[in-house]
Amino acid sequence: MESKPNQWKDYLMLHFIVLIWGVTAILGKLITIPAVEVVFYRTLVAALGLGVLLLTRKRNFSIGIEEILKLVGTGFLIAAHWILFFAAARVSSVSVCLAGMATCSLWTSILEPLTSNKKIQLFEVLLSFLAIAGIVIIFRVEFDQKLGLLMAIGSAALAAIFSVLNVGFAKRQNPYMVTFYEMIGAFLSVTLFLPIYAKYFTGGVIELVPSNMDWAYLFILSIFCTVYAYSVSVELMKRLKAFVVNLTVNLEPVYGIIMALIIFGEEEEMSGGFYWGGALILVSVLLYPIINKVISWRKTARVSVKV
């Protein structure tokens, strides 16, 4: 990736977006209705909010049937990702759920070269495995929460897939339009899943009546953590590689865990090994822009020597 004057500004904005995403697991735990119902309302409110925004800006919604179908299909992956994500926070803890999301970088380091015909970068893979080492440490010391961790890892794999897909969409479409159609797809997929969910998972019970506080949390989750954060992330993907985005998302557990400790107190306190694992994840994130900058300088120096 070539160095650009505003590259560090993009990195800072990306970190701000990841900080916002760190709040999502906390909101998911504060909301009293189950994970599937949370995603149902999150995608509905997000799609409606984006629709109103795009109408006020007089955007043309016609981007071609083929493109719309691709975005709607990607929305199915996003819905599955969110359901696993919120369910993981419920069956384990916010901290373990967020830690599992750090595997995004490993999945992306494999998927992105396969979809973009780019060579696999050795340092990207090594940094990914550094993050995975942190996950292994966490898994060993918090084994009683393995189900939540595994669900979070599955959620991370889905996140890596749609992030790689969004790199292509971001180059062709307005980021808010991308998010709008993906939220429609996510909402449709959850709606179609509800009868199956009721029959096989809840004994016919669907909790679609949020409390007043649930509505407040859902609004924050849908508008601020979804419409705003998700659309800005798609915009950033025009200039940053999917690997960079997902590696930085590894900081989501760090930000989220700090906030969860403040909000939930002793409920979120973990063993020392958990924080050692988190430290490895943090190192993997911070090293990326430094190594990438050094590589860019070396390439520039080689070109200058040849000239």
In this predicted model, what pLDDT tens digit does every residue of 103-141 receive, in sequence order?
Answer: 777 787 777 777 666 677 778 778 878 877 887 787 777
Q: What average pLDDT does the chain have?
A: 83
Alpha carbon distance 28, 217 (integer Å) = 8
In a domain, 256, yes or no: yes
Alpha carbon distance 103, 92 (integer Å) = 17
Alpha carbon distance 249, 18 (integer Å) = 6
In a domain, 2, yes or no: no
- Please classify residue 251 by burial: count the beta carbons closer than 10 Å to its beta carbon, then call 0-12 exposed, 13-18 middle and 19+ buried: buried
Q: Cβ(73)–Cβ(185) under 8 Å?
A: yes
Domain of residue 186: give its range: 7-306
In a domain, 301, yes or no: yes
For 244, residues 6+ apart whose C-beta sits below 8 A from its C-beta are: 1, 14, 288, 289, 292
Mean pLDDT of 56-75: 91
Number of domains in the chain: 1
The confidence score (pLDDT) of residue 250 equals 66
pLDDT top residue among 77 and 98: 77
In a domain, 152, yes or no: yes
In a domain, 60, yes or no: yes
In a domain, 180, yes or no: yes
The confidence score (pLDDT) of residue 1 equals 43
In a domain, 1, yes or no: no
pLDDT at 301 over 60: yes
Instruction: Quote the pTM value.
Output: 0.80
- pLDDT tens, position by position, 23-46: 888 898 899 999 999 999 999 999
In a domain, 51, yes or no: yes
Band of residue 5 on the pLDDT scale cut at 50, 70, 90 = low
- pLDDT tens, position by position, 151-204: 998 998 999 898 888 888 878 888 889 889 999 999 999 999 999 999 888 888
The confidence score (pLDDT) of residue 218 equals 93
CA 243 to chain centroid, in Å, comes to: 12
